Amino acid sequence: MAVATVAALLAALGGGLWLVARRFVGTRTQRLHSSGNSGHMHGKTVLITGANSGLGRATAAELLRLGARVIMGCRDRTRAEETAGQLRRELSQAEGPRPDPDAGAAGELVIKELDLASLRSVRAFCQEMLQEEPRLDVLINNAGIFQCPYMKTEDGFEMQFGVNHLGHFLLTNLLLGLLKSSSPSRIVVVSSKLYKYGDINFEDLNSEQSYNKSFCYSRSKLANILFARELARRLEGTNVTVNVLHPGIVRTNLGRHINIPLLVKPLFNLVSWAFFKTPIEGAQTSIYLASSPEVEGVSGKYFGDCKEEELLPKAMDESVARKLWDISEVMVGILK
C-alpha cells in the first residue's frame, strides 16, 4: 500500500511538472526565437574560453553561424577537436536560411590549448595569440569550475578562485593590447546569480583557513563582477567595452562535482528538464553581448536574459574592486 501511494504521488508530481514544463519551455522557446540575436559577425574574431561544452559550445555554435571566426580556448585538445567536428557537421547540415544572408560564408573554428588552472599555460596561450592573430574583436570569459572539492591550481591557488577569477584576470590583461588595437571590441564576462552569497575575504582569498565549496564558488563569481566593473572603468575612452552576465540555471556538466543521491536523481532530472535552461537558451545573453548592435558602446553593466539588471551594493563597491585588482595583479605576477 505504501509503495503504491508513493508511486501515485510521484506520478501525480511528474504529471504536474510535465504540464508546467510544457508551458514554461514553450514560453522560453518563444523568447529565444523572438530575441533575434542580430549583428554582423563576419570578419570578426571571437575568443571563447571553455568552448568545448555547455554554454561555451552553444555560444560558439551561434557565433559561428553568424559568420565569426571563433577561437576555442580549451584545456583538453582532444575533446575540443571532437566538439569542433560536431559543430562543423551541424553547421553544414543546418536547414533554412543563414541568420544573415549578407554576412557571406559561415565562420571558421580554430582550436588553441588553454588551461586556466596554470598561469604558465595562460601566458603561453596569449603569446601564441599575439604572434598569430592580427585582431581580437570579442573576448568571452566563459570557462568555469563549480563547487569542486578543495584542490589547488598549478600555481597553488584555490581551484575555483584560481580558474574562475585569476586565470581570466591574467588572460584578459595580456590580451588588452590586441583588443585595443582591434577596437571597437568587447569583453564579455560570464558570472552567476550565486554571486549574491559570496564575499571577498582578503584575509583568506586562498581558502587555507576554511573551505566551503558553495561559498568559494559564489566568491569567485562576485570577483568576476568586481573585475568586470573595474576593468570597464579603466578602459573608459578606449572603445573597448566590458559587460558581465548571469546565464540563469542551465543544464550543463558544470555541476559534475555535486553528488545527488541515487533515489533522488530521477526527480532531479525531471525538475532540471522542466525548469533549467538548455545550453543554447543559457547562452543567449553571451551571444547578445558579443554581437548585438543594441549594446554598442555599453560598458560596465550586468545583464540577464539580454536585459540589464541591478546588482547588490557589494558587487558595486569600487574600493573593494580596486583592492581586488591590485592583489590579483600581484597573485598572477603582473606586479612583483
Helix ranges restricted to H, the chain: 2-34, 54-65, 77-93, 119-132, 159-161, 168-181, 213-234, 265-275, 279-282, 284-291, 318-332
Q: Cell digits for 30?
A: 518563444
Please report which confidence band the pLDDT of residue 259 belongs to, taking 50, 70 and 90 as the band edges: low
- Report phi then psi at 197, rounded to 5: -100, 10
Q: Are 96 and 71 in contact (CB under 8 A)?
A: no
Question: CA-CA distance, 174 to 155, in Å (whole number)?
Answer: 18
Residue 264 pLDDT grade (very low, low, confident, very high; cuts 50, 70, 90)? very low
DSSP codes joined into one string, 257-317: T----TTTHHHHHHHHHHHSBPHHHHTHHHHHHHH-GGGTT--S-EEETTEE----GGGG-
Query: Which SS3 state, helix, strand or coil, does residue 190 take?
Result: strand
C-alpha–C-alpha distance, residues 228 and 234, integer Å? 10
Does 217 participate in catalysis according to the annotation? yes
Q: Mean pLDDT, to the nearest integer, of 50-78?
A: 96
Residue 210 exposed, middle or buried by CB count within 10 Å (0-12, 13-18, 19+):
exposed
Give 287 or 37, the one with higher predicted confidence: 287
> What gap in Å lies between CA 190 and CA 164, rounded to an integer?
9
User: Residue 335 CB: number of other CB atoms within 10 A?
Assistant: 10
Using CA atoms, how far apart are residues 246 and 13, in angstroms rounded to an integer?
A: 30
Q: Is 91's pLDDT higher than 70?
A: yes
Please tell me which residue in 150, 197, 211, 217 is annotated as part of the active site.
217
Express each pLDDT in 191-229 by its tens digit.
999 999 999 999 999 999 999 999 999 999 999 999 999
pLDDT value at 60 more than 90:
yes
Which residue would you say has higher pLDDT here, 44 or 20?
44
For residue 263, the one-letter residue type is: L
- Summarize pLDDT for 303-336 with one digit per residue, the tens: 999 999 999 999 999 999 999 999 999 999 998 6
- Mean pLDDT for all residues in the chain: 85
CA 292 to chain centre: 17
Amino acid 24: pLDDT:
45
pTM of the model: 0.84
